[in-house]
Structure 1
Amino acid sequence: MRKWLGVLVVSLGVASTVDEGHVAVAAAHMIRITGYYRDPDVAKLPEVMSAAYARAREHDVELMPRDPIEFGDVQHAAGVLIFLHGFAGSFVLPCWEISRAAARANLATVCPSTGVNGDWWSASGERTLRATVAALRRRGVKSFYLAGLSNGGVGATLLAPRMRGTFKGLILLSGASASAANPGIPVLAVQGRRDTMMPASMVRAYTRRVGGKYVELDAGHFAMLLRAEETHHAVVSWLTR
């Protein structure tokens, strides 16, 4: 199943005329049928994902693959939120969702890709993040925030301390590394209480250890999708405080 998902996402990447939503919803159906993810909300995924993509289309969001994905005016925003995707690669939908919250704080959003596994903690992942920051600095950006979803959250907690002084804040969505060093910046973690892939206890312990703000939602691993408005509110409140 993991190999099948990888093939599906690679196909999405090379088929530039394919609407992302069609591929992602098909994958959600396959995940539900096969039981690949032992998540309490997996049965709801296809319906909720279909509705989320419908909302994105209503807002005229371009759902074709691209790298990096950008939302907002990078040159004139107060700063940029860099969002690290999770396993299965870079998708427009979660990038757009986090960009809605970032925009409320006058931040543009940039979502680079490091491939299907979302292993941002690897040498390749770190190079991609550093190159993204360097490219944005050349465009005049001076203020950065870092966010990550699932594996992206794990990577963000490990990379932020290595890039100390780069980011003003760290946002974690359903993911963190228990062994990550303190990044020395404000941290927000939004986590599903019933997450079986990134246990809430682990993310809660990390957030407490680094003195961050922890928001727990009644959901599993897909809290950002199934509790989109609550996630949006938590991120907006934290960014604009």
Structure 2
Amino acid sequence: MRKWLGVLVVTLGIASTVDEGHVAVTAAHAIRVTGYYRDPDVAKLPAAMSFAYARLRAQDVDLTPRDPIEFGDIEHAAGVVIFLHGFAGSFVLPCWELSRAAAHAKLATVCPSTGVNGDWWSASGEKTLRATVANLRRRGVQSFYLAGLSNGGVGATVLAPRMRGTFKGLILLSGASSSAANPGIPVLAVQGRRDTMMPASMVRAYTQRVGGRYVELDAGHFSMLIRAEETHDAVVSWLTR
């Protein structure tokens, strides 16, 4: 199974030279066939991804891989949501999905990359986040939110307390560190009830400990994709209230 996972990561890495949607859907089929992930969402991944990428193409969303990925008018937005990707690297689809919600609060979205492992809690991950904030400040941005998906959520909970005073809020999607310090800012966690990779009980406990808002969906680890509209509505409600 580890061999199959390695092949998957290499395949995802090729996304820098081919259409992201084609590669992602192929990878979703590989995940389903190999059975590496024992998560209830796996069987739904290929169809859900195909539908999602069809939406992006219909709206002429640029699927060209880039680092960082940006959505919105950075220089004139009310602020920026910095979104940390999960395992397998940075992709346009989840960045675009989050940007749809951020736009309701007049926020732009920036999605930097720290490589396929998504280990934002590492020295290189922290360096990338700090450099992203510094670059955005040079462009005139003064208000920041931090968001993270899966490993990115774990990294966000670790880095927010280290960068205290930088972010106005923290958005966690299918991931959090059970041992992270309280960030001292509002927190939203949107979590799949049947997630086998980031247990709901762990994310729920973290959110309760830091006094955040916890939204649980009937899904597994890929709830941001499988329950895209419910995730969207939860983030919009939290950002705009």
Q: TM-score, normalised by structure 2?
A: 0.98
Which whole-Å CA distance do the structure 2 matches of 1:52 and 1:11 have between them?
20
Tell me which of 6, 14, 30 is aligned to 2:9.
6
Which whole-Å CA distance do the structure 1 matches of 2:86 and 2:46 have between them?
18
Residue aligning to 1:196: 196
Which whole-Å CA distance do the structure 2 matches of 1:12 and 1:56 have between them?
16
Which whole-Å CA distance do the structure 2 matches of 1:30 and 1:6 have between them?
11
Correspondence list, 1:71-110, <5 A: 71-110=71-110
Residue aligning to 2:153: 153
Whether 1:127 and 2:127 are equivalent positions in the alignment is yes
Letter in 2 for 1:176: A
Gaps of 5+ in 2: none
Cα deviation, residue 5, structure 1 = 1.8
Residue aligning to 1:166: 166
Correspondence list, 1:47-58, <5 A: 47-58=47-58
- Backbone CA RMSD of aligned residues: 0.5
Whether 1:61 and 2:64 are equivalent positions in the alignment is no
Residue aligning to 2:233: 233
Residue aligning to 1:136: 136
Which whole-Å CA distance do the structure 2 matches of 1:194 and 1:173 have between them?
14
* Residues 149-176 of structure 1: per-residue CA shift (max 9 Å, x gap): 0000000000000000000000000000
Which whole-Å CA distance do the structure 1 matches of 2:134 and 2:8 have between them?
31
Which whole-Å CA distance do the structure 1 matches of 2:13 and 2:34 have between them?
20
Identity of aligned residues (%): 84
Which whole-Å CA distance do the structure 2 matches of 1:2 and 1:120 have between them?
20
Letter in 2 for 1:235: V
What secondary structure does 1:54 align onto?
Answer: helix
Which whole-Å CA distance do the structure 2 matches of 1:58 and 1:213 have between them?
33
Aligned residues: 238
Which whole-Å CA distance do the structure 1 matches of 2:14 and 2:220 have between them?
28
Cα deviation, residue 2, structure 1 = 2.2
Which whole-Å CA distance do the structure 1 matches of 2:46 and 2:6 have between them?
20
Gaps of 5+ in 1: none
What secondary structure does 2:214 align onto?
Answer: strand
Which whole-Å CA distance do the structure 2 matches of 1:10 and 1:58 have between them?
25
What secondary structure does 2:172 align onto?
Answer: strand
* Residues 47-85 of structure 1: per-residue CA shift (max 9 Å, x gap): 011000001111110011100000000000000000000
